[in-house]
Structure 1
Amino acid sequence: MELTKVEISKTALVTNIQSFRNILPKHTLFASVIKSNAYGHGLETIAELSIKAGADILAVNYLEEGIKIHGLFPEASIMIMGEIPNLEKYIKYLNSSFHIVVSRKDEVQLLNRFSQRPQIHLKVDSGMGRLGYSGKTLYKMLDELKSDNLPINWLMTHFASTEDFTEHSYSMQQLTTFQQYNEYAKKIGYNNLKLHAASSASTMLFPEAKLDMVRVGISLYGLWPSIQTRLSLSLMGNTTFHLQPVLTWKTGIVHIQDLNTGSYIGYGSTYKTNYPTKTAVIPVGYYEGLDRRLSNQGYVLVRGERAPILGRVCMNMTIIDVTHIQNPKIGEEVVLIGKSGNEIISADDMASMIGTINYDVVTRINPNIPRIVVE
């Protein structure tokens, strides 16, 4: 993978964090969500940059991710948002710098037996239908926790569809439900719980959802959660909120050849040249994260020009058309995501070509590809 790299812009990441800081109350903590290899941007790289940029908490999904980050940055506050099977095995790894998200009474009981008890975030289901309990089941659990004198520190929830619509009544319904759950917790004696609910889209759109912490994931990396989020913000009169993409994905040409008219290209011979064609091979395929659905329809950038993908994306290679590029060279730079000259391929552009979302595009970039920090 010597030619292939992912460049991470320090300036862009700092800009994005500052954009959110500018709309947050002073008391609201900022959590950088760096799960799933920091959405493909590189776990350790984004953790370090986030800490330097002033993030209050680093949020991951797996405990293993958290332990790794704790080893590198022992002073960092780390939130584990995913379920932790066999939690009792990890007593020696967890301390008060960890924030653990739980949904069940048995998890709260176990964490309260730790000698260095992590902060406990009880997740409640306000309408996502995933983790946490709701209604009478939740109230019963809260009653039992209080009866057993088991402390919790935070109450949290997650919005189901903020980024899918420009009409947000369901999100507001969820927020109302969440506030009702907090009122019940107060009523039975949990008087000082801190609250969080908002991810990227809801942080931008709902001032009332910022609470004591926000969890910013996709937009930390300069990507909009959806076109609906961008439209919603514009409809609210905010046209100045700025995000700057953090990631550029590059590779280089490893082979060039000239093919006659009528030549077949790639597995399955799915492409046939209809003019004398100069092709180039790049050492990136679906193993590296270039989606196979880009076969015969995607493109990359060479010298600021679009170079169409010819034939099927292979496991470790892809063939591109460089007929229109004057005297292309072995080793010459090819941009898969990012800017070249006046042309740009964004993660959203690539997502549109294959019928998916920008999250999917960036998280699938192979973690073995070097992540290089640039200004």
Structure 2
Amino acid sequence: MLSAKIELSRSALVHNVRIFRELIESNKQKTKFCAVLKSNAYGHGIYEMIDLCLDASVDLFGVNSLEEAQIIRQKHKTIPILIMGDIPNIRNRANDLSDTNFWVIVSRLVEWEFLSNLDIRPRIHLKTDTGMGRLGHSGESLRNILSEAHSKGLPLEGIATHFASTEDFTEHSYSQKQLKTFQEHIEIANSFGYTNLIKHCAASASALLFDEARMDMVRIGIALYGLWPSMETKLSMKLLGKPEAVLKPVLVWKSQIQHIQEVPTGTFIGYGSTYKTTSPTRVGVVPVGYYEGLDRKLSNNGYMLVAGKRARILGRICMNMTMIDITHIDSAILGDEVVIIGSSQNEYVSADDLSLWSNTINYETTTSILSLLPRNIID
């Protein structure tokens, strides 16, 4: 039996989808909702999230890889799937890519041409670089690609870009500059005869903040799971006078107390002897460590919940175990529930708390959770 479990809330997921449905419907255009399930659904479990999102009636799924797209296709034969990442050895994947409901983002002409020549071809979306400096092209390079594609009669169904820093600041001039550049890229594509394209650029933060960025589709990742892209995004909502969006976290992470021992004052705890007790201490051992996805930087620097109270992490987090201080929790016994992310009575530890204590972001906190841990859907 594995040492921990993940619970996924159906009602929270439906609530979060509804938040964005209301936003995109306010634009009075038919904007599609793309639920991004890349990286094991941000650690939530791709298999389980497929079912939850289908129940919530999303329009399509977004993934990073062809392999992730194939997982979804096993569960649903026709729903569109946006493949956003690179496809290695693409010339050897013709059969796998022969799906008219795959929407494949390309950055290079060679990929575009290969996909266009498949007997059964996916729908092709061109990535442009508006300031991310990652995938796509801009300026004269973009014009050259579009010119050559047009001369060869290559089809194009969509055009996309990605914002670099919307979630990092409360001042959004760079994002606005990117949006203006993307509009210019759309006009360039139109000038070569590529019209009626599906235009998309907004991920969670930009979909929340910029009405004009929602366009024909929004790609919702982190906020789908009830987590804010950043505190700056949340603050920006207030600064822009937008109604507060109440997102509900989908994921709860639980384990149990595996072992309890009483140790005297002056006892060292864990590898490297980085913690020394200053009074008689009751130590609980939780069978979750960095292999299971608990960031090692939480060593001596974080809390779990037991019986509605915070229990401090003592010493270094081990590969498969973590020690916590339960001296003040008189009722704690062997086998008691331990909450790593979620609530226990009136106390709550969020993915944001863990990311703050370990100096990272909530994206990394959840995507690091071991995929082997069972995911259970609850109402």
TM-score (norm 1): 0.98
Residue of structure 2 in register with 1:285 after alignment:
289
- In the alignment, does 2:365 pair up with 1:364? no
- In the alignment, does 2:251 pair up with 1:254? no
Residue of structure 1 in register with 2:100 after alignment:
96
Residue of structure 1 in register with 2:9 after alignment:
9
Q: CA deviation at 1:301?
A: 0.2
Secondary structure of residue in 1 paired with 2:78: coil
Q: Which amino acid aligns with 2:312?
A: P
**Aligned partners of 1:3 and 1:331 also within 8 Å:** no
Q: CA RMSD in A?
A: 1.0
**Pick aligned residue for 2:317 from 310, 313, 318:** 313
CA distance in 1, matches of 2:315, 2:185: 55
Residue of structure 2 in register with 1:373 after alignment:
377
| Counterparts of residues 338-357 of structure 1 (less than 5 Å) | 338-357=342-361
Residue of structure 1 in register with 2:81 after alignment:
78
Q: CA deviation at 1:92?
A: 1.3
Secondary structure of residue in 1 paired with 2:312: strand
Q: CA deviation at 1:240?
A: 3.0
Question: Deviations for 1:135-177, whole angstroms, at most 9, x for unmatched residues?
Answer: 0000011000001110110000000010111111111111111
Residue of structure 1 in register with 2:125 after alignment:
121
**Aligned partners of 1:337 and 1:345 also within 8 Å:** yes
- In the alignment, does 2:25 pair up with 1:38? no
Residue of structure 2 in register with 1:299 after alignment:
303
**Pick aligned residue for 1:209 from 200, 208, 213:** 213
CA distance in 2, matches of 1:267, 1:325: 24
Q: Which amino acid aligns with 1:9?
A: S
Shift >6 Å, 4+ stretches: none
Residue of structure 2 in register with 1:324 after alignment:
328
CA distance in 1, matches of 2:234, 2:16: 15
Residue of structure 1 in register with 2:54 after alignment:
51
**Pick aligned residue for 1:177 from 163, 174, 181:** 181
Question: Deviations for 1:79-108, whole angstroms, at most 9, x for unmatched residues?
Answer: 111000111222112210111110011111
Question: Deviations for 1:217-257, whole angstroms, at most 9, x for unmatched residues?
Answer: 00000000011100110112224312000000000011011
Residue of structure 2 in register with 1:150 after alignment:
154
Q: CA deviation at 1:75?
A: 2.2
CA distance in 1, matches of 2:188, 2:271: 61
Q: CA deviation at 1:3?
A: 4.2
Q: How many residues align?
A: 375
TM-score (norm 2): 0.97
Structure 1 spans left out of the alignment, 5+ residues? none
CA distance in 1, matches of 2:2, 2:88: 38
Secondary structure of residue in 2 paired with 1:182: helix
Q: Give the share of equivalent positions with the same residue, in percent.
A: 53
